[in-house]
Amino acid sequence: MSETMIQMAQRASRCAEEIRKHKEVQLVSHIDADGISSAAIIARAMERAGIEYNMLFVKQLDEAIVRELADNNPELVIFTDLGSGQIEHINKYGLHAVIADHHRPQGDMELHLNPHLFGANGSFEISGSGAAFILAGQLGGNRDLADLAIVGCIGDMQYRKYGKLVSLNREILNANPDVITSKTDISLFGKQTRPVYKMLQYSSDPYLPGLTGNEDACIEFLKKIGFRCAEDERWRRWIDLSDEERIKVTSSLLQYSVQNGLSSYSVNRLVGECYILLREKEGTEMRDASEYATLLNATGRYMKAEIGMAVCMGDRGEAYEDSKKLLAEHRKNLVDGLNFVKERGVTQLSHLQYFDAGSSIPETIVGIVAGMSHASGNRRLPIVAFADKDDGYKVSARGTQELVNRGLNLSEAISQVCQEIGGAGGGHDIAAGATVPFGKKEEFIERLNAIIATQTSGRV
């Protein structure tokens, strides 16, 4: 066990000691895959410890929600995958709280479990669900919840920097090999549930020139290498293939990508580590950590995070069926969003590019659309997306690891702009978001462009 893990476990022990003093607590978490899995980890740990809880999922924690929580006068609030950015308000309203988060802290409090406090990076070393897993470990054994922790960190894209999980995430991955394991495989999404040609057609990271978005071209590519797309009137999935067939498709795809000008960075991303949940049924979304995370995201993005949490808690009946319906709706909305961006286009400035979705793309998924559009567009500049929401503009920004290596830090840049012009924002170096007041959009984008210029080139 690393020194950082030991230090986090020691802090988690003090947090768990406080939690055990209460028979009932208020649990608050974020609505994305990391937040949902974080909530499920703590909820299951508390159930096993005989502690009751009330659940609240929020899109974003702000002063108004903290004040409302304080007005309800709970004995204890546990924040998972959020809270670190609202410590000032938590203290201001006298809220008795435990935080298990991985975003950059803004303020100090005693019962705060966060990797940044121990010299680790919450962007790639451990996610919110990882912090929740460490806390759960101090509430009982709970090593069997390691699979949910990995689902959360995959949903948070913690593998992107190195193409695999490292550091504290790696320790969690190795914590219980009976429930979660890794294997080297093709890195395209949908190995458990999608026909092989659909894996190619919908590949956005990496983008496959001539194949991504073109169903006929994908089928033709597979036929040319002698691959049978269907068998017994059923489309074949990746998990239906023999080892020899997988090797043949992968090697042919690597050769095709090189011949069609894919960058060496993107080619290297075609093969990577994949994470398998060993207790889940093969051929379901929950078997693969990436597909599981997408399922959870689909529930949260449509304000049904409690359904995703029920799936995490073991419901394979009604909640699972409902989550699959939400996933189907989610996919349709993503396609509509991508078509919107394709038709309207993206505006390029010197150091960023952006689009304004208005009310045409739900603000809960505009960040995903931005990321997918970025994967098939200009990767030399980070992308920023705007969408209308009740209290201002939702901002979602996405970069690449290559840009981060050059100095890009979207979290710091967006936080700085919000401090200057109003609003609230943060996140990670490679992906961040904010809410910006109406009427401040142009000023926001101009200031952000200047800050990113300074970060990546030293020139404003």
Residues 30-66 have pLDDT tens digits of 999 999 999 999 999 999 999 999 999 998 898 999 9
Q: Is the pLDDT of residue 433 over 70?
A: yes
Q: Of 31, 109, 26, which Cα lies nearest the Cα of 69?
A: 26
Q: Mean pLDDT over all residues of the chain?
A: 93
So what's the pLDDT on residue 202? Answer: 85
SS3 of 262-330: the string is CCHHHHHCCEEEEEEECCCCCCCHHHEHHHHHHHHHHHHHCCCHHHHHHHHCCCCCHHHHHHHHHHHHH
SS3 content of the chain, % helix, strand, coil (to 5): 50, 15, 35
What are the E-state strand segments in 174-237?
180-186, 230-231, 234-235
Asked if 400 and 299 sit in the same domain, the reply is no
Please tell me whether residues 198 and 275 are part of one structural domain.
Answer: yes
pLDDT at 408: 95
In this prediction, residue 459 has a pLDDT band, given cuts at 50, 70 and 90, of: very low
What is the arithmetic mean of pLDDT over 109-136?
A: 97
Which of these three, 269, 288, 303, is where a domain ends?
A: 303
Judge if 69 and 148 occupy the same domain. Answer: yes
Query: Which token pair is 255?
Result: 């050769």
pLDDT for the residue numbered 6? 97
> Which of 303, 328, 358 marks a domain boundary?
303
Pair 148, 241 in one domain: no
Q: Is 327 a member of any domain?
A: no
Higher pLDDT, 60 or 225: 225
Q: Kindly state whether residues 18 and 127 are assigned to the same domain.
A: yes
Residue 267: what pLDDT?
80
Give this prediction's pTM. 0.86
CATH number at 427 reads 3.10.310.40
pLDDT digits (tens, 9 = 90+) for 62-83: 899 999 999 999 999 999 999 9
Strand partners, 274: 183
pLDDT-based confidence at 458, cuts 50/70/90?
low
State which residues form the domain around 21: 3-175
User: Which residue has better confidence, 270 or 128?
Assistant: 128
Same domain, 264 and 391: no
Q: How far apart are alpha carbons 130 and 65 in whole angstroms?
A: 24
Mean pLDDT, rounded, for 281-294: 96
Q: Note whether 211 and 240 are same-domain residues.
A: yes
Question: Do 112 and 202 fall within a single domain?
Answer: no
pLDDT at 203: 85
Q: Is residue 354 part of a domain?
A: yes
Residue 460 scores a pLDDT above 80 = no
Number of domains composing the chain: 3
